[in-house]
Structure 1
Amino acid sequence: MIRYTLKCSDDHEFDSWFQSADAFDRLLGAGHVSCALCGSSEVEKVLMAPAVRPARKAAAPLTAPANPAEEALAKMRRAVEENSDYVGMNFAAEARAIHEGEAPERSIYGEARADEAKKLIEDGVPVAPLPFLPRTKAN
């Protein structure tokens, strides 16, 4: 998504979000972009400053959590990784096998498609999404 500051022929400025720069160009060319205030379709982009995140404190190490929520997530990740087996994309099958007594009971984590997770929940298999990506998928 990209946000542009726009201005109409009557000098009204307004912001709007677009799927991409190409999507904006296509919509503008087709006459589907109009002023939010007066409805004019004579609209152009206005020069705007990019949104830049402020730098972290220089004294803080790069891997240090920036706030208590990040610290809690890091602690949760460590606990899950230390006390569970990572089963990757086999999560749905392995969770079902454990639930049905076909595999040894143990804590697992991994990945599942949305339809697989929904089916597990519908079938009473106790699962929950984790608030972080597996290390193989995280930056």
Structure 2
Amino acid sequence: MIRFSLECEHEHGFEAWFRNNDDFETQKKRGFVECPACGSHKVEKALMAPAVSTGRKQEKIALAMGEAQKQAMAQLKALSEKMRESADYVGDKFAEEARKIHFGEADPRGIYGEATTEEARGLIEDGVEFMPIPVFPEDRN
């Protein structure tokens, strides 16, 4: 996974993760890349310094975290795993399936998957209750 620094036409800066540069370009062309601040789809990669991952750097990050933060992170990871284990993965059909459940067109059950910012806004407007599940860097590799 690659983290890109992005900027919309209104100079709002944000970051997003992609499998590679082609994935970013494909999602951008399809209108899936959106500024979280204003919703603009006119997004470009911003100038950024490359991040080099080494074992030593990861050790520094781990050592900088206090015991309370380590415990909280472990609890959050465990909760995230438990939520996934007790739900059906529906992939990029999350918004569609969540609506079916909400409107009684499908049996009620826990689901998880992916949704675009636009799809999430639509779910909120329709009164569908959902929440983001944290994704940790090691989950994406």
- TM-score (structure 2 length as normaliser): 0.51
Amino acid at match of 1:118: R
Structure of higher RCO (CA pairs closer than 8 Å, 6+ residues apart): 2
**Structure 2 spans left out of the alignment, 5+ residues:** 6-45, 61-68
Pair 1:91 & 2:94 matched: yes
Alignment counterpart, residue 100 of structure 1, candidates 84, 98, 103 = 103
Contact 1:73 1:132 in 2 (8 A): no
Aligned to 1:119: 122
Tell me the distance in 1 between the aligned counterparts of 2:112 and 2:76.
Answer: 15
Q: Could you report, residue by residue, the CA deviation over 1:5-50 in whole angstroms, capped at 9, with x for unpaired residues? A: xxxxxxxxxxxxx7146xxxxxxxxxxxxxxxxxxxxxxxxxxxx9
Aligned to 2:140: 138
Mapping of residues 15-94 of structure 1, within 5 Å: 19-20=47-48, 54-56=57-59, 67-94=70-97
Q: Could you report, residue by residue, the CA deviation over 1:33-79 in whole angstroms, capped at 9, with x for unpaired residues? A: xxxxxxxxxxxxxxxxx99764539xxxxxxxx81232022211221
The structure whose Rg is larger is: 1
Tell me the SS of whatever aligns to 2:109.
coil
Q: CA RMSD in A?
A: 3.4
Tell me the distance in 2 between the aligned counterparts of 1:124 and 1:98.
Answer: 12
Deviation at 1:126, TM superposition (A): 0.5
Residues 103 and 112 (structure 1), Cα distance of their counterparts in 2 relative to 1, 3 Å cut: same
Deviation at 1:118, TM superposition (A): 0.5
Tell me the distance in 2 between the aligned counterparts of 1:113 and 1:55.
Answer: 30
Tell me the distance in 2 between the aligned counterparts of 1:132 and 1:109.
Answer: 12
Tell me the distance in 1 between the aligned counterparts of 2:133 and 2:111.
Answer: 12
Higher helix share: 2
Percent sequence identity over aligned pairs: 43
